[in-house]
Amino acid sequence: MNAANRYTPTPRPVQGHHARKRFGQNFLVDQGIIDQIARAIDAREGQLVVEIGPGLGALTRRILADIQPLHVIELDRDLVARLTQQYPTSQLVVHAGDALAFNFAELAQAAGLGLRVIGNLPYNISSPLLFHLQQYRAHILDQHFMLQKEVVMRLVAEPGTKAYSRLSVMLQLDYDMTHLFDVPPHCFNPPPQVDSAIVRMQPREYPGSENLDRTLFAKLVTQAFSQRRKVLKNTLSELLAGVDYAACGLDMQARAEEIGLPVYVAVTHAWQQARLA
């Protein structure tokens, strides 16, 4: 049901809340951007939508016009109290705690539904949170996040570009990602010192990922990008001793940012086989 036809609860007035730097709080206040995000998410009845870090509830309230109940995860105890005061549990289910420790699989299994995860992620924990969610990808239908624009550019970066990084390779293994639009600082209170952007992340099964040793893959990618300005001969030769990396298309005279995901996957498989020999 769309926002025009859905009753949206009017929260009772509550005392103001000051953004807390330790929680990385920058509250979205621009209604036009909020509506644009909601249209991109396109929440529908029967779906299980989980918002990370609802803050003052600006996006929360807009999503509640499309779907109820909405689940939210909030660490700030003052904001938890505010949200539970504003909305009944029939409309909003508040999970008080740290999203970095939240078990998304339990929620999905209890409901018998895949999750749609959304949120304006605190920029100080965005990368750890993305990696935390990655382990629950089998239970997630899609993710729509507001992130620092620099991070979004890294997520969608192509090999050979300055933004291509360890984060690019690690997450492109499991997601198709799309940079949807930018959000300037003046849309927040307080305004952050950086531009923000919205990214859509859709889990996928990348060829060769089903039997990939992810520990080795992470070790390979991390080591490759540990010294970006050096060629891979200097960073990977010792790690890949005994591995026929040339047969995988790995050029040791290249730098990490010049190597595409298929090669990193192929080298990991070759490394797995070499360890079994």
Flag whether 103 is marked binding.
no
Flag whether 211 is marked binding.
no
Q: What is the DSSP string of the chain?
A: --TTTS----PPP-------GGGT--EE--HHHHHHHHHHH---TT-EEEEE--TTSHHHHHHHTT-SSEEEEE--HHHHHHHHHHS-TTTEEEEES-GGG--HHHHHHHHTS-EEEEEE--GGGHHHHHHHHHTTGGGEEEEEEEEEHHHHHHHTPPTTSTT--HHHHHHHTTEEEEEEEEE-GGGEESPPSS-EEEEEEEE---TT-TT--HHHHHHHHHHHTTTTTS-HHHHHTTTTTT---GGGT--TTS-GGG--HHHHHHHHHHHHHHHH-
Flag whether 244 is marked binding.
no
Flag whether 26 is marked binding.
yes
Residues of each annotated binding site for S-adenosyl-L-methionine: 26, 28, 53, 74, 98, 120
Residues of each annotated binding site: 26, 28, 53, 74, 98, 120
